[in-house]
Each structure stands twice: as structure tokens, then as C-alpha cells.
Structure 1
């Protein structure tokens, strides 16, 4: 896994020994998302999925691990958070883009940030390149990157 960042964007690359079809299915179906999306110590339930530009994904993420529950409580965050992503790009087996509303951070005015995912077929499988807008400060950007890296590692466990 490679990670790079500038002041406004973070890029994470990960190679998987799987086809673009398999990675696309895991990224764009309710059962696929529920199987890997959550970072360790959390679970995800997909509430609604409309995979098309301007369609949405709504899901609820819940802290279940003792360490994660303690962190969320200590940070004044709820144990369950419902999030909605709005798709900006849907190109099957190639590209997926979506905005996320960051409306769960105490004391921070809600704002949207963009995630773009590109799948590139390689000799050994597929490379996933994820580019994400930085969040409002360095700490939250680091949290975002750590969560996304953990999620991508969970995806590898399914296909590796």
C-alpha cells in the first residue's frame, strides 16, 4: 500500500490479486460493502444503495470493539453514525466517485469531501487508487487516512 498527500488531497494505492469485476462487486453492492467497509472494531449496515450518478449510499457504522467504543465515548462521538454518500461518478469496473457529508464532528460546521476510486487492471490483478479530499484539519485527515487504509486492508483479506 502506498500513501501520498498534499495540502488538499490524499492518495492511497493498493494492489489486489483479484479481478476488477470482483473488486467492483465488493465496492458497489450492499453485501460487498458490509463485508469490508468498516475499520476494525466497527460494523457497517447498508440502509440504502442507488448506484448511479446523483444516487446515494446510506449506511450506519457502529463501534463494537472495546477500544473503539472507549475512543468514541471519550471523544464525545456517538457509537453509531449514519452517513450518506452521493455518487458523482459511476463507471463500472473503472471509476467510482462520491461525496461524503462530514456532519458528525462536534464543533465543526458540516462540509462535503470527495473520494475518487480508480481500478486499473495489472498483470497480477487490480490496482485501486483512492484519492480523498483532506478534511478540515490534520488530525481528522490522519484519522480518515488510517480508517481508509484499514478498510483497504480488510478488502485484501477477502480477496487475498
Structure 2
């Protein structure tokens, strides 16, 4: 049986495609030229995770999309919906997801991104502390009005100091 607390930490790490504001303790974010609409996709995906909305999360994926979160492999929207529904069920309040794009590369008609992903909690001093960090690779293709995830690979990094 998988640990639901661990699952929620992985749940959104796979949906990372663009930079969001970082807190002051981190190094400066790289300046990247993102394809039009990609930053909006990342903000919308982060917002869906923060609302704990599994259907909205799955809507960002291609029908034939795949995702690997740690050792969990998901193929297609039905598996992803089941995964997010279960992951969000026991998610503690106050946790948020934040993505920082580190690299963008065009590959034919698609775009690949390397990202840092942070699962954060309130620190008690009106700030946030990182509970977990992930390296996430995403492959996206253009669709009418934006982008969709074709493949996402989220790898958890060592737990944050003091967690």
C-alpha cells in the first residue's frame, strides 16, 4: 500500500512548465524566453493543484499523455485522474506547489522543459518553507489556444534540510 502523504507530495510535481515567483532565499531564476502561452499553462496548473482539483489537473494532459512520479507510472487520463483524486484526498491544508523553469528547448514542433518544483508550507512567519523539491522534465506540444503535456517525469530530490 502506498503512503498517501508521500503521494500528494508527488502529485503536482509532474505539471511543471514555467517559472513562478521564487522566495528570497533561493538563487535568482534564469531569464528564459518561454513560448507564448506556456507561462499561463504553468500558472493554471499550479492553481489547479493548489485548489486540489484532479479533473483540472488531468485536463492539461494529452489524451495519450504519460507521467512518471517517483516510481509511479501513469498512462492516459483515467489513471491520472485516479492518482490525483487519491493524492489530493488527504493533502494537508496550506501546502502549495511552485515551479521554476530552468531550461527550455524546442524539439521539432514540441518543447521540452527542465524544472525545479517545490512543495511548500507556511513557515509561521508569513513566509514559506520548502518541504520537498523535485526535478521535473516535461514534453509539451502545441494545441489550439496553448499547450498540452505529452510526457512528464518527476524525480524527488533529497528531503529539504530540517524537514
- For the superposition of Structure 1 and Structure 2, which TM-score range results when normalised by the shorter chain? 0.3 to 0.5
The TM-score with structure 1 as length reference comes to 0.33
